[in-house]
Amino acid sequence: MIPRYSQGQISKIWTDKNRYEIWFQIEVLVCEKLYIDKKISKKDFLQIKKKGKVDVEDIQKLDRKTHHEVIAFLNSISKKIGKSARHIHQGITSSDIIDTAFSIQLKQSSEILIKDITQLLKALKTKAYKYKKTICLGRTHGIHAEPTTFGLKIAGFYAEMERNLERLKKTKDDISICAISGAVGTYATIDPSVENFVAKKMVLKPETMSTQIIPRDRHANLFSIFGIIASSIERIATEIRHLQRTEVREVEEFFSKNQKGSSAMPHKRNPILSENLTGLSRFIRSAVMPMMENIVLWHERDISHSSVERILAPDVTISLNFALNRLTNLISNLKIYPENMKKNLDLLKGLIFSQALLLVMIDKKGMERQKAYNIVQKNAMNVWKSKKSFLETIKEDKDIRGILSDSELSKLFNANNYLKKIDYIFSKIFGK
């Protein structure tokens, strides 16, 4: 991932140094179990544990000769250990350490992303409660529909992101897998007790059935969840982008003192953070299909998945980490304009109350539904063409005036009527 989107903690997970150190840790644990089982001496085990050191430059230098990264790693480590190194990698295969290490890297990354989502949830909850009863327009098809509250919008994002958190937690456990089963996964050259030992030490679960590799449906599932999280991020970003449009301007991204908008038009204050999140989300989702395709490998193993994972696993997790943190800051510092929400609420001259009128004509006055609908719609369409408000228009309709008084009509045209169940909805989302 390019430095622009890379944050320190998660980026370190995907460095060659970290990966090689995990490889060595796995190799040491295998040797420890062999020592416990009296298959290698204490002297040899301690020599391996103490003398083995990861030298990234040396490994990469050897890799250019061997064209086999694991062999290069083993040769580099062995040079430092000496004769005792003959016990390293005993009975196991490259995939055993590569795949188990990959599981650890994905687990480490997921743990960071879980923290990121947890922080985002806190920011969303704070905003939701602050604007719980701040009335704004609900829009369907981009058109003014009926009143809602801005807090309720945010609460909806919270509920969605909370589901994402639970999905990621579950999937993190599903990917926290250890496979130490030897060539083609038969345990012919390594006892299953070694796998169980390594798994316990590294807080992983033994793979139920490996071929020679951990089955890639686990990884595809994880990246599918990443894709869903990215889509949730984009949904929030898209909402902010729409609400920041000049003619709407109900919210606005924080604009710092020395920040610049357009290079040509100094007046511009663009929703660049939301647009950036939209782009990052598209990239993250693009990884889902290649990871799905990685499920289909030849027989017990091939390496067609390897290049895909080397590129996408770091870039996707790093991008998602960046996006979640950016979104948290965006939500925390988002500027809200209730006065513009009120102004936009009034733009359609009361048409947003058409359903309220329709329902009272049907439910309380007993009018046949289709007749009531036709009457309300006729008056509503007239408002689009006239300068009169909806209330003024319907007061001139004899079919409506014959069944509804002025006071009854006025009561319908009150946005506060739409707040009645807000507390109930919040209790469903946040608990009582």
Residue 151: pLDDT band (50, 70, 90) is very high
Active-site pick, 41, 68, 193, 262: 262
CA distance 33 to 40: 9
DSSP 8-state secondary structure symbol assigned to residue 137: E
3-class secondary-structure state, position 88? coil
**Adjacent-strand bridge partners of 148:** 136
Place of tokens 């980026």: 11
Q: Is 141 designated active site?
A: yes
Per-residue model confidence as pLDDT tens digits over 171-183: 999 999 999 999 9
Residue 102: pLDDT band (50, 70, 90) is very high
Per-residue model confidence as pLDDT tens digits over 30-81: 999 999 999 999 999 999 999 999 999 999 999 999 999 999 999 999 999 9
The tokens for 2 are: 């390019």
Domains and CATH numbers, the chain: 3-87 (1.10.275.10), 94-256+268-344 (1.20.200.10), 351-412 (1.10.40.30)
Per-residue model confidence as pLDDT tens digits over 301-354: 999 999 999 999 999 999 999 999 999 999 999 999 999 999 999 999 999 999
Strands 135-140 and 143-149: antiparallel
Q: Write the DSSP assignment of 264-315 as a string of letters.
A: S-TT----HHHHHHHHHHHHHHHTHHHHHHTT--STT--STTHHHHHHHHHH
Largest Cα–Cα distance in the chain?
A: 103
Q: Is 110 designated active site?
A: no
pLDDT at position 268, please? 85
For residue 364, is pLDDT > 90? Answer: no
- Averaged pLDDT for residues 393-410: 90
pLDDT at position 267, please? 86
% of the chain exceeding 70 in pLDDT: 100
**pTM for the full predicted model:** 0.93
pLDDT at position 111, please? 97
Per-residue model confidence as pLDDT tens digits over 365-384: 899 999 999 999 999 999 99
Per-residue model confidence as pLDDT tens digits over 257-303: 787 887 888 888 899 999 999 999 999 999 999 999 999 999 999 99
pLDDT at position 219, please? 97
Q: What is the mean pLDDT of the chain?
A: 94
CA distance 278 to 285: 11
Active-site pick, 141, 299, 405, 407: 141
